[in-house]
Structure 1
Amino acid sequence: MKITVVGGGPGGLYFAILMKRQDPSHEITVYERNPAGSTYGWGVTYWAGLLDKLRAGDPESAEAIAAASVTWTDGTAIVRDRHTTHHGDAGFGIGRRRMLALLADRARELGVRVAHEHAIDGPGAPELAEADLVVAADGVHSALREAHAGHFGAESTGGRNRYVWLGTTKVFDSFSFAFKETAHGWIWAYAYGFSGERSTCVVECAPETWTGLGLDRMSEADTLRLLEKLFADLLDGEELIGRAQEDGDPAAPAQWLTFRTLTSRVWHRGHTVLLGDAAHTTHYSIGAGTTLALEDALVLAAALRRRGPDGFGSLDRALTAYGRRRRAEIVPAQSAARLSAQWYENLPRYMRLEPDRMFALLGQRHSPLLPYVPPQLYYRLDRAADQLESLRRLKRWLGPRLARAVHRV
């Protein structure tokens, strides 16, 4: 097959690796609009289960990613000025730039052509003309998807809160949170390490807090200085780093965003198929975006490996099977992400609790019951449910039913 991948993110590169491993005779090109080494997002997170899947798909790149990652098991939170810690499962962080470089090197090693600074702006691009398969891995604003928006049935829903994605020279050894109350409302940060030198720090707040603090009018340099003061105990005096700083223009405005949740009713059209953020997004607070894109690549490659010999018909069946399976598989992640985003949008509801209780409910934010039960009562019921099997069964029974009811609304 002649395969063209549009978008050189983790999902697109990993799919190219998998297909080249399946059949070295495949002619595969990955087109990425940005220069090599130019990316956003600082670090990405994933959990141990992903590594097992990657090792099954391509042991070499999996081991390279594992070796370049940092890990943590604890979660820590600063609520106002009080600290609390919870122990949990192992999590991993890796620099996005580092991950892309490792995957691109592995793809080239296998014979994939990776072309940076090469934009594909629509389905009429000459680079796509002779491809047997076109993989649209070009992100949430996918030009290939938007050219046939009606067919793919993409729907995008905007979140309420504002957030900014930053780096910091503080190296965190746990997944850390800080919640600060200001005269204009709460503002909070999520922070995690991704190397021995830097960490990611995402800052979020309600729109009223954003405007009340003047963050809507500040340059990035002034924004960083204010946030460094607000989160001084989290950062231990280390500095925050913004995208404009990296680009050499600290007078530019900070890149505050609102998150857009994307779903697509159909994932392929003819020989073009969606992958990763081009097909779906999940709120960053559950840290699943990169994992879901890599899992898309694994399932798509497996579907193509099983296709029959009868040309386009078998390709269509494989792409249909891939889309059907992945749409079903990502429902739990989409539900968890929606509930997580809502938890943060209703943060003041939980901030009257003691810090350890608030942090415990932060870990329960994916529960569809939590928005409908007073926080103190939910905390007590959840602690009791850990000891009473009947309550655990009731919680498991009620949760999915309430989630479906909320989804229908």
Structure 2
Amino acid sequence: MRPQTFAVIGGGPAGLFLARLVKLRAPQASVTVYERNAADATFGFGVVFSDRTMAAFERADPQTCRRLREASAQWTDMELRHQGRCLRYGGYGFTAISRRTLLRILQEQATEVGAQLYFRHEIPLADAFHDADVVAVADGANSATRRAYAEVFGTTVDASGPKYIWFGTPARFDRVTFPFVQTRFGPFAAHAYPYEPETSTFIVETDNATWRAAGMDVSTDAAGAPGVSDIHSKELLEEIFKEHLDGHPLLVNNSKWASFQVVRNDNWSHRNMVLLGDTAHTAHFSVGSGTKMAMEDAIALAEALDTEGTTADAFRAYEAKRRPEVQRTQNWAAPSMRWWGTFARRLHMEPEQFGFHFLTRTGAISYAGLKRRHASRIDEVESWFARRSTPDVPPESGAARSAVSLPLTVDGTILANRIATVTPPDAVESSAQAGGGLVIVDWSAGGPDGSQDAWRARIERVRWNGAEPMALLRAQDADGEAFARAVGIRMIERVLPTTAAPQDGMSVVVGVGCPPVPAWTSEGEDFVQWCSEQTRAGAIGVHLRLPREELTEQGWGRALAYADLVRESSRKIVLLDAPDGWALAAPDSHRGESWGTRIHTALLSGRLDIVVARPLARL
């Protein structure tokens, strides 16, 4: 038997939309919504929906969707403002609406079909509705009911996200705009987008050090009471973003700094209770909207309750449908949130590369997709990279050369390309003939053998073939290093454990095994710090070494995150192992991500400098 009585805890977008959709499908059902705030109380300003989400609203409820469109602003472009440049990227589709207007429309739409709405009516626990067939828990990320049943739901809340504060402004923004500003306190960045003809949302992010240096930790404490806004931060940020606001003020509405919370639950239902919206999950606002996911939850739950035979079956069907999409969004949101939390490390990048790094921060859009959406911008960054690599060579017309094929200067030595090969001593010359720019002579097992005269001749032939040699030695092999220098090898790679103290030495690359854990763990942070200490002591770069079983798409992606962090923190070259099987050719902009395209993207975005082939790449 289908459920007949519904209690909805939370009168936000998820709860209100669910109430309407349930009544549309089951007019005889009793649906009651309980909201702790007043009907016209809301915090925040505008919310954003993608074209895909609006299409889902249209299918579920054409009348409500029409009202939302009529009250919304639409745009297709986004713009990055960095170092005095404005980089515009088209090919998107967004709709934004005032949160206050959204709630008013959803309240009216729910009431129209017979749902009962009670405001200023707080329900501390869902247990109060043990007789209801369904209790929809939609009271937000800080849900009291979910906290009370945290063990049952398997709730985790990670509040380590970057600092942000939410404003509105009468300043005109015609598209979503991301200005980045350096100040005497440190860097700030904003997300600005229109949602009404005369009003835009303006969200500011920064890191903890900058937040404290600007005195915003003190003003945050002073504005701790509900409904109180941080006026010190408002006035200071008006001055910081004055150029981008065209002198307009920032508008407040319970505006205060917070750290973004990522909410996850292993189970979305228990007995007659079911979670939806921010109560069930959150994802950083840089990849979309919690409101978007909440209303999509409402659509899926209403459909499952209408089509499944029992409430338990409906809850299972709802979760089975929504969880993969939510996980996909959270998987995209996690690297995006980290990007925004660490954007200061990349502000030294020139605008072309900074913009490309931004576009590729989540991996949600392939290189081929970026070429389709932003052909001129991708051409621009590829041309910039080629000019930077070969400043004295006129640019070529036609298809872009792969970034890996372009020269790189390392410690005063020009490499013909960005491919390194690790080779045994008896295959040095054949490796050089294969076309790699750097031949790493593997003396790590027993040190050099043979006469110095013979090796001088080999090294000369390696260079005659257009490659540069580097000696790979185990730690503390002073004799091997002296031998390498004597035969004309200028660069040395020392393979070190992460327990090793910082090493000094001329033209030394530190080789180290890449941890098998994500870069954003405490172990990963310690590893990046160790690499930075090695470069501060004099190392010219770091070679992140991977065991053969880690040379997979997943393993390489994890290692690339380390490469990015090490490069950002040290500003020195980073070498990264990669599998065989990719070709030195123009990146593929028409099909899926090949290894060649993946490497091209990583080099172009500045996440690494040299790819190390194990074994030799097929050139």
Tell me which interval the TM-score lies in, with the shorter structure as reference length.
0.7 to 0.9
Q: Which stretch shifts more, 340-349 or 255-264?
A: 340-349
Q: Give yes or no for the alignment of 1:285 onto 2:286.
A: yes
Q: Match of 1:10? A: 13
Q: How does 1:262-341 map to 2 (within 5 A)?
A: 262-308=263-309, 314-341=310-337
Q: Give yes or no for the alignment of 1:229 onto 2:239.
A: yes
Amino acid at match of 2:352: D
Amino acid at match of 2:233: T
Shift of 1:6: 0.5
TM-aligned CA distance change 1:387 to 1:51, over 3 Å: closer
CA RMSD in angstroms, aligned pairs only: 2.5
Shift of 1:275: 0.6
Shift of 1:157: 0.9
Question: 1:133, 1:52 → 2: CA distance?
Answer: 27
Amino acid at match of 1:191: A
Question: 1:208, 1:87 → 2: CA distance?
Answer: 34
Amino acid at match of 1:343: W
Q: How does 1:11-160 map to 2 (within 5 A)?
A: 11-125=14-128, 128-160=129-161
SS of 2:301 mapped into structure 1:
helix
Question: 2:270, 2:597 → 1: CA distance?
Answer: 41
Question: 1:395, 1:64 → 2: CA distance?
Answer: 44
Shift of 1:390: 7.2
Amino acid at match of 1:97: R
Amino acid at match of 1:242: V
Q: Match of 1:357? A: 353
Output the TM-score relative to the length of structure 1: 0.87
TM-aligned CA distance change 1:372 to 1:88, over 3 Å: farther
Amino acid at match of 2:561: P
TM-aligned CA distance change 1:209 to 1:319, over 3 Å: same
TM-aligned CA distance change 1:268 to 1:160, over 3 Å: closer
**Cα deviation digits, residues 39-75 of structure 1 (max 9, x gap):** 1120000111111111111111010001111011121
Q: Which has the larger helix fraction?
A: 1
Question: 2:52, 2:41 → 1: CA distance?
Answer: 28
TM-aligned CA distance change 1:40 to 1:350, over 3 Å: same
Shift of 1:231: 0.6
Shift of 1:330: 1.2
TM-aligned CA distance change 1:55 to 1:80, over 3 Å: same
Q: How does 1:125-274 map to 2 (within 5 A)?
A: 125=128, 128-218=129-219, 220-244=230-254, 255-274=256-275
Is the contact between residue 160 and residue 207 of structure 1 (CA under 8 Å) also seen in structure 2? Answer: no
Question: 2:592, 2:308 → 1: CA distance?
Answer: 46
Question: 1:135, 1:103 → 2: CA distance?
Answer: 16
Question: 1:338, 1:323 → 2: CA distance?
Answer: 21
SS of 2:173 mapped into structure 1:
coil
Is the contact between residue 71 and residue 93 of structure 1 (CA under 8 Å) also seen in structure 2? Answer: yes
Number of corresponding residues: 379
Is the contact between residue 78 and residue 234 of structure 1 (CA under 8 Å) also seen in structure 2? Answer: no
Is the contact between residue 171 and residue 193 of structure 1 (CA under 8 Å) also seen in structure 2? Answer: yes
TM-aligned CA distance change 1:385 to 1:70, over 3 Å: farther
Question: 1:398, 1:156 → 2: CA distance?
Answer: 36
For structure 2, the 5+ residue unaligned runs are 223-229, 364-556, 575-584, 602-619
Question: 1:315, 1:160 → 2: CA distance?
Answer: 36
Amino acid at match of 2:102: M
Is the contact between residue 587 and residue 600 of structure 2 (CA under 8 Å) also seen in structure 1? Answer: no
Identity percentage over the alignment?
A: 34
Amino acid at match of 1:347: F
Question: 1:298, 1:392 → 2: CA distance?
Answer: 37
**Cα deviation digits, residues 94-139 of structure 1 (max 9, x gap):** 00110111011011011111111111111233xx243111000011
Amino acid at match of 2:105: L
Q: Match of 2:339? A: 343
Amino acid at match of 1:205: T
Is the contact between residue 74 and residue 88 of structure 1 (CA under 8 Å) also seen in structure 2? Answer: yes
Q: Match of 2:494? A: none
Shift of 1:396: 7.6
Amino acid at match of 1:232: K
**Cα deviation digits, residues 202-227 of structure 1 (max 9, x gap):** 00100000001112223622221210
> In the alignment, which of 362, 371, 394 is matched to residue 561 of structure 2?
371
Question: 2:45, 2:588 → 1: CA distance?
Answer: 37
Shift of 1:258: 0.3
Is the contact between residue 385 and residue 391 of structure 1 (CA under 8 Å) also seen in structure 2? Answer: no
Question: 2:343, 2:62 → 1: CA distance?
Answer: 41
Output the TM-score relative to the length of structure 2: 0.58
Question: 1:22, 1:398 → 2: CA distance?
Answer: 51
Question: 2:55, 2:597 → 1: CA distance?
Answer: 30
Shift of 1:90: 1.6
Is the contact between residue 80 and residue 181 of structure 1 (CA under 8 Å) also seen in structure 2? Answer: no
TM-aligned CA distance change 1:160 to 1:21, over 3 Å: closer
Is the contact between residue 588 and residue 597 of structure 2 (CA under 8 Å) also seen in structure 1? Answer: no
Is the contact between residue 69 and residue 195 of structure 1 (CA under 8 Å) also seen in structure 2? Answer: yes
Is the contact between residue 11 and residue 137 of structure 1 (CA under 8 Å) also seen in structure 2? Answer: yes
Q: Larger RCO: Structure 1 or Structure 2 (Cα < 8 Å, ≥ 6 residues apart)? A: 1
Q: Which stretch shifts more, 351-360 or 130-139?
A: 351-360
Shift of 1:37: 1.4
TM-aligned CA distance change 1:394 to 1:111, over 3 Å: farther
Shift of 1:267: 0.5
Q: Match of 2:582? A: none
SS of 1:89 mapped into structure 2:
coil
TM-aligned CA distance change 1:290 to 1:398, over 3 Å: farther
Is the contact between residue 123 and residue 147 of structure 1 (CA under 8 Å) also seen in structure 2? Answer: no
Amino acid at match of 1:111: G
SS of 1:45 mapped into structure 2:
strand
Question: 1:194, 1:387 → 2: CA distance?
Answer: 34
Question: 1:71, 1:325 → 2: CA distance?
Answer: 29
Amino acid at match of 1:3: F
Higher Cα radius of gyration? 2
Question: 2:21, 2:95 → 1: CA distance?
Answer: 23
For structure 1, the 5+ residue unaligned runs are 245-253, 309-313, 400-409
Q: Which stretch shifts more, 109-118 or 316-325?
A: 316-325
Q: Which stretch shifts more, 317-326 or 114-123?
A: 317-326
Is the contact between residue 587 and residue 596 of structure 2 (CA under 8 Å) also seen in structure 1? Answer: no
SS of 2:218 mapped into structure 1:
coil
Shift of 1:183: 2.9
Q: Which stretch shifts more, 317-326 or 173-182?
A: 317-326
Shift of 1:33: 0.6
